[in-house]
């Protein structure tokens, strides 16, 4: 607990048509053959330094199960950073950094996140992100767009969201054709 | 007819959640209060020079009727540039630059657009854009994202689109918080 105002970021990767997961859960579409000459390159050191500032990850149970599945081949993606899984289910927990929280999202934000962390990243899935958007629990959206149209799959946004203004904070294009937009959510 | 390979661009303005029209057809959400300091400013001269390169606009009948409605207060948005409305209906035509084409989109592209124009902009609506995407009639997508989440309205993309790779060609942020992405549609 540092005393700094905690910031909650929704971190999302989607296709241009707003899809965050294919029906078969395959992730190969993240890697495209695109090359954008004017794009920024990120060194491994930059990426590590950036990720080190995140002091808590939050995810829903399906995203967690998917991350567990991927970890068998690629390792656990979130290192030793505290990771909170929002779920009423009895999920397997194999690392000390992982905690399953069975309360509602409001309790998670007010009783756990705001008390203990300063830079929280919510990494999905769609239901959790929508809940955070509806209740204005998040401070910013960091959306990376992969240069592809998928057509069918799990959509990030739907008609249940209330209208809300955003403020563009940052925009970056990467060498692989990925576009990253950072928006502040006005409260 | 110039002999240059004709280029067909899908030009779209959407909210971050992919909505191109509100249910009440109001357009005030295009104008946000956002200011993005790092954004690019476009002079009226730049804009005019850019738009002058477009030698044909294409739109569906609802977009046309909406443009007619708006023209009562703001003037006709497409000047004297040839404008083709794809429709089987008997629509009012009040300007010489406007032509109603009652064939299918494939005939429009092959018999009319490719024969006569070099820089065609398809400006909507959603049904026409989806048809062009499905049939790969278009060469590029130019999508401007307004810094807002709308929630409910007419969505640009849906599950009927086939998966297709894109290539990022250009990315610009404007002073008003608008993000413009230009993608080549790979064929």
Is B63 found in the same domain as B43? no
DSSP class per residue in A49-88: HHHHT--EEEEEHHHHHHHHHHHHHH--TTTTS-EEEE-S
Please compute the mean of the pLDDT values over residues A45-53 and round it to a whole number: 92
Is B73 found in the same domain as B36? no
Report the sign of the C-alpha dihedral through residues B43, B48, B49, B53, in that order. Answer: positive
Structurally, how many domains does chain B consist of? Answer: 2
Is B82 found in the same domain as B63? yes
Flag if B152 and A133 touch (Cβ within 8 Å). Answer: no
Give me the residues of chain B with pLDDT under 70, please.
1-4
Residue from the list B161, B165, B173 with its beta carbon closest to the beta carbon of A171: B173
* ipTM value: 0.93
Is B129 found in the same domain as B50? yes
Task: Look at residue A146 and tell me if it is in a domain.
Answer: yes
Backbone angles phi, psi at B108, to 5 degrees: -55, -50
Q: Which of B89, B116, B143 delimits the end of a domain?
A: B116
Model pLDDT for residues A161-175, shown as the tens digit of each residue? 999 999 999 999 999
Which chain A residues are closer than 8 Å to B167 by Cβ? Answer: 34, 36, 147, 177
Q: Which of B116, B137, B153 delimits the end of a domain?
A: B116
Is B184 found in the same domain as B149? yes
CATH number of domain containing A29: 3.40.430.10
Task: Look at residue A45 and tell me if it is in a domain.
Answer: yes
Which chain A residues are closer than 8 Å to B36 by Cβ? Answer: 167-168
Answer whether A171's CB lies under 8 Å from B174's CB: no
Mean pLDDT rounded to a whole number for chain A: 93
pLDDT value for B6 = 86
pLDDT value for A132 = 96
pLDDT at A95 over 70: yes
pLDDT value for B26 = 85
Task: Look at residue A124 and tell me if it is in a domain.
Answer: yes
Model pLDDT for residues A119-170, shown as the tens digit of each residue? 999 999 999 999 999 999 999 999 999 999 999 999 999 999 999 999 999 9
Flag if A166 and B148 touch (Cβ within 8 Å). Answer: yes
Task: Look at residue A125 and tell me if it is in a domain.
Answer: yes
Answer whether A113's CB lies under 8 Å from A159's CB: no
- Domain extent, residue B100, equals 56-116
Is B26 part of the contact surface with chain A (CB cutoff 8 Å)?
no
Is B49 found in the same domain as B140? yes
Q: CA Rg, chain A, in Å? A: 16
Is B45 found in the same domain as B1? yes
Answer whether B88's CB lies under 8 Å from B102's CB: yes
Task: Look at residue A1 and tell me if it is in a domain.
Answer: no
Task: Look at residue A2 and tell me if it is in a domain.
Answer: no
Please compute the mean of the pLDDT values over residues A5-13 and round it to a whole number: 92
DSSP class per residue in B109-171: IIIIIHHH-SEEEE---HHHHHHHHHTT--SEEEEEEESEE--SSEES--TTSPPEEEEEEEE
Which chain A residues are closer than 8 Å to B20 by Cβ? Answer: none
- What letter would DSSP give residue A119? E
């Amino acid at each position: 607990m540092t005393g700094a105002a905690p910031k909650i970021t929704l971190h999302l990767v989607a296709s241009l048509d707003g899809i965050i997961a294919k029906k078969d859960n395959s992730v190969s579409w993240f890697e495209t053959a695109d090359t954008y000459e004017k794009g920024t390159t990120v060194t491994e050191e930059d990426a590590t330094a950036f990720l080190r500032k995140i002091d808590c990850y939050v995810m829903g149970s399906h995203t967690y199960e998917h991350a567990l599945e991927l970890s068998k081949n690629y390792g656990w993606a979130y290192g030793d950073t505290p990771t909170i899984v929002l779920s009423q289910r009895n999920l397997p927990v194999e690392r000390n950094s992982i905690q399953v929280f069975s309360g509602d999202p409001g309790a998670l934000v007010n009783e756990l996140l705001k008390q203990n962390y300063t830079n929280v990243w919510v990494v999905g899935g769609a239901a959790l992100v929508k809940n955070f958007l509806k209740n204005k629990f998040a401070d910013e959206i960091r959306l990376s767009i992969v240069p592809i149209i998928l057509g069918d799959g799990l959509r990030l946004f739907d008609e249940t969201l209330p209208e809300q203004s955003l403020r563009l904070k940052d925009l970056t294009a990467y060498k692989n054709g990925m576009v990253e937009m950072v928006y502040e959510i006005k409260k």
